[in-house]
Amino acid sequence: MALGESWTEAELSATVAAYMEMRSKALNGTHFVKKHYYTALANQFGRTDKAFEYRMQNISYICCLMGRTWVPGLKPAKNVGPQNAPILERLICEWEGQPYTGRAEFEHKVMAYQAKPAALPAGTQEPKLRYGAATHFARDPQVKAWVLRAAASLCECCDKPAPFITAMGEPFLEVHHLRTLADGGSDTISNTVALCPNCHRALHYGADKLERREAIYHKLPRLVRE
pLDDT at 184: 83
> Residue 169 has what DSSP assignment?
S
pLDDT at 170: 92
User: Residue 136: phi, psi to the nearest 5?
Assistant: -150, 160
pLDDT at 173: 97
pLDDT at 3: 43
pTM of the model: 0.76
In whole angstroms, what is the distance from residue 151 CA to residue 147 CA? 6
Q: How confident is the model at residue 2 (pLDDT cuts 50, 70, 90)?
A: very low
Query: What percent of the chain lies above the pLDDT cut of 90?
Result: 64
Model pLDDT for residues 186-212, shown as the tens digit of each residue: 999 999 999 999 999 999 888 898 899
Q: What is the mean pLDDT of residues 2-23?
A: 88
Q: What is the mean pLDDT of residues 32-51?
A: 97
Long-range CB contacts (within 8 A, 24+) of 114-120:
114/145, 114/148, 114/149, 118/146, 118/149, 118/150, 119/146, 120/146, 120/189
Is the pLDDT score of 177 beyond 80?
Answer: yes
Mean per-residue pLDDT of the chain: 90
In the three-class reduction of DSSP (H, G, I as helix; E, B as strand; rest coil), residue 176 is classed as strand
Is the pLDDT score of 4 beyond 60?
Answer: no
pLDDT at 135: 61
Model pLDDT for residues 52-104, shown as the tens digit of each residue: 999 999 999 999 888 888 899 999 999 998 889 999 999 999 998 888 888 88
Tell me the residue length of the chain. 226
The interaxial angle of helices 9-28 and 49-65, nearest 10 deg, is: 70
Higher pLDDT, 45 or 118: 45
